[in-house]
Structure 1
């Protein structure tokens, strides 16, 4: 499992790794990627940036709460390109990322072991050059309450180290509060002890 219960590792911005072997060049683009649709856009951009490459092999890992991963050899021998790229992402425990490797053929066949080293090595190089960030898996919940309960709510927010991400003030107060996923249930319990509050989990 590549995520903790609350957090996961990703990248802040693209990075590039390079490998050269017997005339062939492998250029690996490591890119932030949230889903399959954004990946397709990134793949198109790499193809525009590297129009003369012979192969565009890739892998991605998305959805940190239930990781979904795919890889593709783009005409290279089976499991010689996409799989080693994916292994590089897995070994660095990265999620919400894609790695696309453009290969320029140098005239000499590298064999499957050589391809595995080159594709995996270029992806590894891009991972090692990346700026890694730790992202939190969070949940939001809404609290509706009257003005005479504001001190109680604000005190709980401070004590539990929560984040108020939205405030609405009308005839009553409405707060949307963010909490780490693993602490959601115990946090809700603390608020629901006060029966003058109406607490609901926000569905995304």
Structure 2
């Protein structure tokens, strides 16, 4: 299995609109990092568009792509959530939520046209969104005596490691995040600096 070192997501939220026979399909796309964040976005849209007939959505989280969900919200099975998810996957992006709000126009569209409408609205929103490539990162903890703190900080700078939190006592702990592509070489450098201990977060 190949190791993934980078992934693509949205740099900022985006939205688009598609109309068919009086029905309006409003697509909203967000970069997201957790299911809690997803629930909040969906709930907010439901409240803002409480007169809409349907609030369908799909999301995918994680670089391995194993966490996802597709919701039809009352539309015929497979006519909304799956087409939305399909467009997320076609764009090869992750850590993304797309919600499509449908205001019913009074005319039934039938499943094929529904699928096309949800696909088009989603694809347009994703196409207008700015994309960004991000590093897959590993979090770890560095431990050292205060006297060797400057060595640990210098290692962080050299290895492009971001310091997330510092616990500066007589025995210091740095919580850092490092690009996965750098990890092997960075750990090899650390092994030569016996004054610094390292623990990888799961």
Task: Please give the TM-score of this superposition, normalised by the length of structure 1.
Answer: 0.83
Q: Is the 1:67–1:95 Cα contact (8 Å) retained in structure 2?
A: no
1:44-65 superposed Cα distances (whole Å, 9 cap, x missing partner)? 1111121211111111111234
Is structure 2 residue 5 aligned with structure 1 residue 27?
no
Relative to structure 1, the CA distance from residue 103 to residue 150 in structure 2 (aligned partners, 3 Å threshold; closer, same or farther) is closer
Change beyond 3 A, Cα 1:134–1:146: same
1:61-100 aligned within 5 A: 61-100=60-99
Kindly report which structure 2 residues correspond to 1:27-176, keeping only aligned pairs within 5 A, or say none: 27-146=26-145, 153=152, 156-167=155-166, 169-171=168-170, 174-176=173-175
Q: Which runs of 5+ in 2 are unaligned?
A: none
Give the length in aligned residue pairs.
Answer: 202
Q: Which runs of 5+ in 1 are unaligned?
A: none
- Which range moves more in the overlay, 91-100 or 80-89? 91-100
1:10 and 1:172 map into 2 onto residues whose CA distance is 38
- Alignment check: 8 A CA contact 1:35 1:63 kept: no
Displaced runs of 4 or more, over 6 A: none
State the Cα deviation string for residues 71-127 of structure 1 (Å, max 9, x = none): 011222221111111111111122122111111121222222211110000011111
| Distance in 1 separating the partners of 2:51 and 2:149 | 63
Closer, same or farther: CA 71–168 of 1 in aligned 2, 3 Å: closer
- Taking structure 1 as reference, are residues 4 and 103 closer, same or farther at Cα in structure 2, changes over 3 Å only? farther
Cα distance 1:71–1:179, how it changes in 2: closer, same or farther (>3 A)? Answer: same
User: Is the partner of 1:79 in helix, strand or coil?
Assistant: coil
- Alpha-carbon deviation of 1:139? 1.6
* Cα distance between partner residues in 2 of 1:188 and 1:90: 34
The range that moved more, 119-128 or 132-141, is: 132-141
How far did 1:130 drift? 1.5
| Distance in 1, Cα, partners of 2:175 & 2:40 | 33
Shift of 1:29: 1.2
Kindly report the root-mean-square deviation, in angstroms, between the aligned alpha carbons of the 2 structures. Answer: 2.7
Q: Which is worse superposed, 171-180 or 39-48?
A: 171-180
Residues 103, 41 of structure 1: alpha-carbon distance in 2 compared, 3 angstrom cutoff: same
